[in-house]
Structure 1
Amino acid sequence: MQNIIITGASGFVGQNLSAYLESNGFDVASLSLRENNWHSKFDPDAQAVIHLAGKAHDTKNASDAEEYFTINTELTKALFDAFLKSNIKDFFYFSSVKAAADTVEGILDENVVPNPQTPYGQSKLKAEEYMLSARLPEDKRMFIIRPCMIHGPGNKGNLNLLFSVVKKGIPYPLAAYRNKRSFLSIDNLNFAIAQMLENDIPSGVYQFADDEALSTNDLIVLIGQSLSKKISLWNVPRVIINTLARTGDVFKLPLNSERLKKLTENYIVSNTKIVTAIGKPFPVSAKDGLIKTFNSFK
């Protein structure tokens, strides 16, 4: 049985990934980096470290920028150093597509020159750069995972908020925005990590995303299918919506500029590199994964 160390195991991804790996014959051990003595609990003879812990992107923009670098950069560097000194074979670092780009023209792939604009993305990129600059022993592998928006049953966030609005029968007023963006089902994430652990995948940077990018209007239709109800899509002029979002910034309303951007921006992420490396397609389609998530909100 292979022993897998997971940081951030109590979070949404950590709980799901731990359960999935255990069901597939792995022995999972949680490691909390919040504890000052985490080094003493670090097993140097484990099979792999999966580093999920970190400070998430704050959509309200209320976080201290330095906190991102303390948690996302410095803690990651310390954990990676411990990995290099250990007998552990694999290190997985969960970064983010936001370490590469805040906005995307066309389709984002791993060849992009990173240019993050937020402390969150910059702190993730700093950790990536540190890892990529290290000399990796031949018997070790290092994976930098850049997932896009992850979802699944039990996940709270913008998809849950969107579902709540549609469930109340409130017409969706942002139909004038014709966007496409990528999502990542937790089922596909779990599948990819297990495949990487079990197969001879080369070290490197890998983006994780479902096969198909969808518009927010597509999401509204899928929510309607989940609820078995007809949904109203309103094409409210963008100038009005943008004004409301700026008002939300000032008065801390549910619709602010950051949330509007998440709901309406184009952000298409390629998964070609990881799917090619695994040699198998992701098991869950984008729409089926989202329907599963929306059904859980009921």
Structure 2
Amino acid sequence: MKKLQVLVTGANGFLGGTLFRRLWRGNDFECVGAVRSRPGIINGTDNMVTVGDMGAVIEWSSVVSGIEVVVHTAARAHIMNDEVADPLAEYRKVNVEGTLNLARQAAAAGVKRFIFISSIKVNGEQTVTGQPFFSRDAPSPEDFYGISKHEAEQGLRSLAAETGMEVVIIRPPLVYGLGVKGNFASMIKLVGKGLPLPLGAVHNQRSLVALDNLFDLIITCIDHPGAANETFLVSDGEDLSTTQLLQGVAEAMGKPSRLIPVPASLLQFGATLLGKKALAQRLLGSLQVDISHTQKCLNWTPPLTVKQGLQRCFPNHQD
């Protein structure tokens, strides 16, 4: 049986790199990885190509020739305290112009399906507890990263209507797993040091997605007929408070959770005084997603629990 030919962009990143390795080592797909710089070699394969910085001028024709499905993970990621002169222009250059340039050339080459890893930030930054985001909700991005992902989604839908290439959009919330960076990595370091944290009485609710759960959904979307031209929200299916998350990380590390029960209202007040409102929103606010459409449309269930996903953040818990 002929294997599907799959291209993964961002194939040396946190998400794209692990996805590429998993697909390449599996038996179901023939996989090519595209990277910005220096192609890598995995166990003797040279199935990685260097394409340079994502943008509107990259020539993709030779890369997408013969490809049937593109999984586009490459992006200019959300950057705290961005210091470039025009952050929105930089996000658009990569996340909008670069995405649509690739998608147009993919469609022209006969690619059947384009899977775009977007962001829950397209829906918005925060939810009221118990009122999650749905895939059908009107987009309401607030920051430049979310705006650029929304604009890319719009362009892809228009391109799908013009060319017939199927587009699948996946909007993950915070993704965690082995090698995670950013705020989640910082949190792991604090827990690992055993420092007391004033986050023992936070009763928000946040949706997260383990790397392996996101992979499982992406792989499902590669050839599932029900995925065509759909938008999917994804999570572990278990929402956690910040307090519960820190406790879970500590348990996965085999460390005690030293959490002091400071009222969230007091933490919010202190963060406002210190000019850390954005940080307080991530720690104290809620962001929930409803994955019922994803589950029903694809007959899909996250294979890992949150506890299993957190255990896989640490090498001694790898299968």
TM-score normalised per structure 2: 0.83
Structure-1 separation of matches of 2:82 and 2:210: 26
Structure 2 residue 242 is matched with structure 1 residue 219: no
AA in 1 matched with 2:200: A
The residue correspondences of 1:197-216 to structure 2 (distance < 5 A) are: 197-201=222-226, 202-216=228-242
Shift of 1:189: 1.2
The answer on 1:279 being equivalent to 2:315 is no
Q: How many residues align?
A: 292
Per-residue CA distance 1:256-290 (angstroms, 9 max, x = gap) = 43333222220111222222222132211122112
Q: Provide Cα deviations, 1:172-198, integer angstroms capped at 9, x if missing partner.
A: 202333111011111111111212223
1:215/1:265 CA distance change after superposition, 3 Å: same
Partner of 1:14: 16
Q: What is aligned with 1:141?
A: 166
Contact in 2 for aligned 1:54/1:71 (Cα 8 Å) = yes
In the alignment, which residue of structure 1 is the partner of 2:112?
89
The answer to which structure, 1 or 2, has the higher relative contact order (CA under 8 A, 6+ apart) is 1
Change (3 A) 1:23 1:97: same
Identity %: 26
CA–CA separation in structure 2 for the residues paired with 1:53 and 1:104? 27
Query: 1:57-83 deviations in whole A, cap 9, x for unaligned?
Result: 112243422111111111111112112
Against the structure 1 CA distance between its residues 283 and 79, is the aligned structure 2 distance closer, same or farther, given a 3 Å change threshold?
A: same
Equivalent position of 2:40 in the other structure? none
Following TM superposition, by how much is the alpha carbon of 1:237 offset from its aligned partner in structure 2, in angstroms? 4.2
Counterpart position of 1:291:
311
Deviation of residue 247 (structure 1)? Answer: 6.2
- Per-residue deviation, 1:248: 5.5
In structure 1, the partner of 2:283 is: 263
Structure 2, unaligned stretches of length 5 or more? 35-50
Give the superposition deviation at 1:30: 2.0
**Gaps spanning 5+ residues in structure 1: where?**
250-255
TM-score using structure 1 length: 0.89
Partners of 1:243 and 1:117 in 2: CA distance: 22
SS in 2 for 1:150: strand
Distance 1:168 1:244 in 2: 23
For 1:253, the equivalent position in structure 2 comes to none
Q: How does 1:162-201 map to 2 (within 5 A)?
A: 162-201=187-226
